[in-house]
Amino acid sequence: MLKFLVKQQKIEVLEREVIASDQIAFVNLKFTFDGDWKKFYKVVQFTQNDETFNRVLGLDGLSCLLPSELHAGSVKMSVFGYDTDKTDGLRATTVPVTLNIRQSGFVGDDTENEVPPTPDLYTQILQKIEKMKFGTPLDMSEYVKKEEIENIIKKALSENPNQNSSDYVTIQKLNDEIASIKLDEHSHTNKSVLDSITAIDRQLDETSTNPVANYVLALALDTLKTASHSHGNIRTLDKITEEVISEIGNLSQFQDRSKEQIHTLFEMVNTFNDTAHTHENIAVLNGITAEKVADWDGVTTLRMTVNSLSNNLTTYSERIGNNSLRIGANESSIKAMLKTMEALQNQMDAIGKNSAVTLFESGADSLLKYGEILYTFYNNGFRSLSGFARVYQNFCDSANNYALSYNQSDFGWAGVVYTICTTEIKIDSNSNIMFTYQSGATDNGEIYLIRKNNDYSGSALANYIYEQIEKKTAVVVPIKWLQCDTFISVLQSCEGVPEGQYFLAWKAVSDNTHPIIRTIKKLE
């Protein structure tokens, strides 16, 4: 399943899978709509080689099937929608995203041309209307407004000006059928909240001559409507309903209420509304400021650099001690060497203070900061870090302070995971890549540098980066995973890499190494 978020005029890819050609009614696309999109009559549009296919979602639909006519290659997908209440016309559109369909291994037979065609836009709308039929109308307030259907049909025809409208039923015939159309009933886990909204709506109608009561009821109605779909913090939302209903239960009490009392009720509702979404660590989150984050970044960079130097100096010192007799070094020469290394340390202390680019750093906010920046490729499927962590729950969790853990619990033995970073970095001969990690064994690994390409962004960019790795056009920088029971920092030189703008990716395996990566930075 592919998942998308439609926000304003942009489509964001939440979860991407590999798509193969020759499928029929198999690939499902799921959509989440933000803001004004929820009130629109929505259509998903696919374009390939000057051919256009439409999938109607309607007012409440959230998923559709990929058209079977699409073949291997690039496909442009966008969404458009209409506000059926706007008789003078209102159309919402999005910037298209690119879907890449790969060639399948399907070998056709005599029935290969019998692919069921995707119905045209007009036919799909009529099919949705047919599914909504229920029976003889009882109360038109519960049924679809005729104007809404007329607007939908008119706009569908305007999208297909070359079609002959005589091939379809007339608007008048539709009007005759609309009287028997009823909206499908649907259930909610928070039915009590929705029932409260209905009760307040009815009270508003019955108290139109009481402006004070109307004012308070309107405030309560707006508050309850924000809670009209279930949340994990249902107890807070139920509290909103309880407090508001208790205040408006007796409408006559508002006859003598002062403006100050009404204002107090409004503030009470707002207070509960502000707490409608909660965090367990709210005190810690409130204490995090931009200034503190900047300080932490600087301290972390310095600490990682010193750790790396400390490991290197310890190694060099041990080598000097073990080989002093073999090389004939005396105490004074050893002291001279250590003095030289101290000077080297002072130089390295200055590295990265002003030129570090953090590509990943573990912490409680890792999924928030890097959830849509890092992507993974595993078992022939792409996912963003946030989506990957939901499926493989030991990969980036609190047990390792949200470090990247290529563990055997999630991936079994020798599972290969490619991790891709869509943050652009500048590389030259002075650049170093710093990995802070823990490894179960010493083994060879690979880092990849892929030249910048301005044609892609987001998940499409991640897909492009992986394709370059597959095609062996990426610059491969060998890395040695070192066995270590605690976290160590290692600088990997980019000497010899042509200067330019790059993206970084790496391969990790859940074998004896099963590395856990805490930090990745680019240093100068």
What single letter denotes the amino acid at residue 363?
G
pLDDT for 165: 45
Please report, in angstroms and rounded to a whole number, the separation of the first and last CA atoms in the chain: 41
What is d(CA 201, CA 460) in angstroms, rounded to the nearest whole number? 46
CB 9 within 8 A of CB 93: yes
Q: What is the pLDDT of residues 351-387, one digit of tens each?
A: 444 468 999 999 999 999 999 999 999 988 889 999 9
What is d(CA 226, CA 46) in angstroms, rounded to the nearest whole number? 33
- Which tops the pLDDT comparison, 186 or 416? 416
Of the candidates 387, 429, 389, the residue with the CA atom closest to the CA atom of residue 405: 389
Question: What does the angle CA 144 – CA 149 – CA 151 come to, to the nearest 5 degrees?
Answer: 135
- Which tops the pLDDT comparison, 66 or 110? 66
> Mean pLDDT across the chain, nearest whole number?
74
Q: What is the pLDDT of residues 13-69, one digit of tens each?
A: 999 899 999 999 899 999 999 888 988 889 999 999 989 999 999 888 899 999 999
SS3 of residue 225 by DSSP = helix
Length of the chain: 524
Long-range contacts of 150-159 (CB under 8 A, 24+ apart): 150/174, 150/175, 151/82, 151/84, 151/86, 151/87, 152/41, 152/82, 152/84, 152/125, 153/122, 153/125, 155/82, 155/89, 155/91, 156/121, 156/122, 156/125, 157/122, 159/121
Half-sphere exposure of 428 (CA within 13 A, CB side): 3
What is d(CA 300, CA 159) in angstroms, rounded to the nearest whole number? 56
* Lowest mean pLDDT across 94-108, 138-152, 287-301, 360-374: 138-152
pLDDT for 233: 60
For residue 303, what pLDDT band results from cuts at 50, 70 and 90? low
CB 167 within 8 A of CB 191: no
pLDDT for 451 beyond 70: yes
Q: What is the pLDDT of residues 464-523, one digit of tens each?
A: 999 999 999 999 999 999 999 899 999 899 988 999 999 999 999 999 999 999 999 999
Q: What is the pLDDT of residues 200-259, one digit of tens each?
A: 555 555 544 555 555 555 655 555 555 455 555 666 656 665 665 565 555 445 445 555
What is d(CA 142, CA 140) in angstroms, rounded to the nearest whole number? 5
For residue 91, what pLDDT band results from cuts at 50, 70 and 90? confident
Of the candidates 73, 70, 62, 59, the residue with the CA atom closest to the CA atom of residue 14: 62
Tokens of 507: 């391969």
Q: What is the pLDDT of residues 119-172, one digit of tens each?
A: 777 667 766 665 554 433 333 333 444 565 556 666 666 665 555 444 444 444
- Which tops the pLDDT comparison, 203 or 435? 435
